[in-house]
Amino acid sequence: MSIGKNIIHDSSRGHVTGTSVFVDDRAAITGEIQVGVVGVPVAAGRIKSINSKRAELVEGIIGVFTAADLQHNQWGAIVKNQPILVSDVIGYIHEPAVVIAAENRIALEKAKKLIEIECDEVKPTFSIDEAIKNEDFLYEATPFVQGDVDKALSNSEHRLKQSFECGGQEHFYLESQATIAIPLENGQMELHSSSQHPSETQHVVAQALGLPYHHVTCIVKRMGGGFGGKESQAAPFAAMAGLVAQKFNRPARIALSKDDDMMMTGKRHPFKNFYEVGFDSKGKITALKADLFSDAGAYADLSSSIMERAMFHIDSAYYIPDVLITGKCCKTNNHSNTAFRGFGGPQGALTMEDLIEDIAKVVGIDASEVRKINLYGQGINNRTPYGQIIDHNPLKEMTEKILKDSQYSKLRKEVEEFNKIKNGKVRGLALSYTKFGIAFTAKFLNQGSALVNLHLDGTIQASTGATEMGQGVNTKIQQIIAHAFGISPESVQLMATSTEKNHNTSPTAASSGSDINGAAALKACEKIKKRLCVFLHKHWSGEVFNDVKEIELDFEGDLSHIEFRDGLVVDTNSKNEIKLTEAIKMAYLNRVSLGGYAHFKTENLGFDKSKCEGRAFNYFTNGAAVCLVEIDEYTGELKVLKTDILMDLGRPLNPGIDKGQVTGAFIQGMGWVTHENLFYSDKGVLLSHSPTTYKIPNIQDTPREFNVEFIENHENQQAVHRSKAVGEPPFLLGGTVFCAIKDALRYRVADNRITSPATNEKIIMKLQKAT
């Protein structure tokens, strides 16, 4: 049995030994061209002219291209309003405008500095506040409405009216955007891309080059990280490589430097959320009116869906009887922001978790008690602001367990005593939750496909629409297939994702890669197994097949008595058994198909925006965390002393991989709310565009004591083998650190409100106002 076991990641040995092959590790192909890109020097205005004459004189430069060389220059995951290469109106500084083709990278880097782009500059917009003032929005969401929020607010015992801000975040995948484009015969193009969305990459490149889709194949072996940054934004860079490959009929490679990647690509959306909340003297929330504003950047990208996901998750884990939630995506002259782990969910949920801390302060009750009293219930108080009823809700039981296991009450007393001593340190404690909806909010994306091929030696090759970016989706699907046939996972090989094997794929995103593609793979396995079962049933029943009489696979009876286990096929009724390899050979000799293709779609989804009702999500992945932090009052330095995490992951397919996802997501979420800060000049230039200037968490930032536990929950029948998605939900728990910082500050300052990220600098400035 392979399900539920800690099978090692299928690329783990390759990663550790350095033998895993990423795009730019691929050996150069004869005649290969190096491709580079140059961005515009201003954040807003128009391009007057592009002068490439000096660059073209550099030895080794063979071509310089602009938007005029593309057959189609517009792309966008939802709204096609973004140019691959800007030709006129400028959206943001360093926006790609020129593509250079070179025989080597030395010539490429020299030529990039010689491109002259003359612009008519105009005043840019860089902030959400400016965009709101100018009423400049790319998208306005349909509001979520439940009850009569104005009446409920007017009747509330207490009211708070304020705002909350959270910043952006750099994806900081270790492998930058990269593609190798290989021209084939008959005008075809083969792309090897670091992309979370092979089909979109295929389509954007085909359109840019004026090719039909069937002339372009996108192949993704693996990515060196993605986190959402390669969901949409891998495609235009692939188009640049494709352009050069097509022009010269030679292979072309683009691999951005970390600096260029960070300056040219979008980030997590910053948000500024305004709200008014009503609550009683016990901290029970009675009403919420919230207006969410995101910094979409220059173009639409995925901003509309990200805004809606933030609206879906502003409730966090709490029931609110009367709500009015609106959302607008602000147009600015920042890089076009894009998908990032959580996809807007963290920006919504952190707003609520921050708000709970403020409510607790007003009513003078420990924030954990305020959270408990507002939690979604079982059978009652279980309707979300978007009208979906929450079933199988374990939050109450999870709360009791994590408060007990973390010794929250004891820690709170210790924090109280510690903070009475003025020794230059102050501590804070917080509990918070994740209740993350699993499904693409665009219904049509909730589909996947798989191709499973069973070979004569009993081994299997499988292809799905999922892309591997380190999260272990291939390993989980490997386990699903191995379990289906009763063989070892080592006998199953997941192949590179390719649009010629799995067409019209959805992106590997929304935490649904294993759910959708694993279910499709299982469905494909069942097709093959049914053929084998019919064949063996008839064989064991004495039917003879020969050159005259062939096997007929039509059979309507019960075949559940035939099982695949331990490399055997066993009939539990007749006690007949045969080695799987022998069964395969017999089936092959009788011309029984040993391959299976299957399509899977998530059932029972459907959300009506106009009525604010229906099932937006297939199910929810739940979690809770308790964090203890300590702050140095002289430097603002933060230490996370202890973190306890409790997750509901259904019946995990691979507990080890899931634990890695939980710990990694938490640390990444913690980084977002503490020290991952994007610094820009007054011209809009990203100053923190390298590992030396952008701080991600290191080993010293991780919790000194770090406990992760899963509850047992086999009730989730909406996903393959009753598992639950894990990629994004734990990210939201990183916000617990932010809440603990606020808790610490309340011991020293009257106003403990702080924006995210709560950097050491912000903390020390806040502490300097201590009364």
Q: Which residues are catalytic?
A: 728
Identify the CA nearest to 134 among candidates 348, 338, 333, 268: 333
Q: At what angle do helices 473-485 and 513-540 cross, to 10 degrees?
A: 20
One-letter amino acid identity for 13? Answer: R
Alpha carbon separation from 102 to 34, 59, 60, 181 (Å, rounded): 5, 9, 6, 14
> What does the radius of gyration of the chain's CA atoms come to, in whole angstroms?
28
Burial (0-12, 13-18, 19+ Cβ within 10 Å), 588: middle
Identify the CA nearest to 640 among candidates 754, 757, 766, 744: 744
Identify the CA nearest to 723 among candidates 711, 714, 731: 714
Q: Give the CA count within 13 Å in the CB-facing half-sphere of 223.
A: 30
Which residues, 6+ apart, have CB-to-CB distance to 91 below 8 Å? 44, 82, 297, 298, 299, 333, 336
- Token code pair at residue 211: 């090719």
- Token code pair at residue 600: 């899977």
Alpha carbon separation from 466 to 215, 236, 269, 736 (Å, rounded): 22, 20, 25, 31
C-alpha–C-alpha distance, residues 167 and 676, integer Å: 9
C-alpha–C-alpha distance, residues 473 and 657, integer Å: 9
C-alpha–C-alpha distance, residues 569 and 577, integer Å: 6
DSSP state of 236: H
DSSP state of 619: E
Which residues, 6+ apart, have CB-to-CB distance to 431 below 8 Å? 367, 368, 371, 399, 402, 403, 408, 624, 625, 626, 736, 739
Identify the CA nearest to 232 among candidates 300, 331, 297, 142: 300
Q: Of all helices (H) and strands (E), which one includes residue 183? A: strand 178-183
C-alpha–C-alpha distance, residues 482 and 459, integer Å: 10
Q: At what angle do helices 234-248 and 198-209 cross, to 10 degrees?
A: 40
Q: In the chain, how long is the greatest CA-to-CA distance? A: 97
The conformational region for residue 127 under phi > 0 = left, psi -120 to 50 = alpha, else beta, is: beta
Alpha carbon separation from 284 to 99, 317, 358, 363, 596 (Å, rounded): 58, 13, 13, 10, 54
C-alpha–C-alpha distance, residues 269 and 340, integer Å: 8
C-alpha–C-alpha distance, residues 181 and 479, integer Å: 33
Identify the CA nearest to 669 among candidates 650, 649, 697: 697
CA 291, 296, 299, 300 dihedral sign is negative
C-alpha–C-alpha distance, residues 473 and 463, integer Å: 12
Alpha carbon separation from 219 to 190, 198, 242, 446, 634 (Å, rounded): 8, 7, 14, 21, 53
Q: Beta strand pairing status for 252-255 and 33-39?
A: parallel
Give the end-to-end CA distance of the chain in Å, rounded to a whole number: 62
Rounded to 5 degrees, what are φ and ψ at 577?
-150, 155
CA 74, 76, 78, 81 dihedral sign is negative
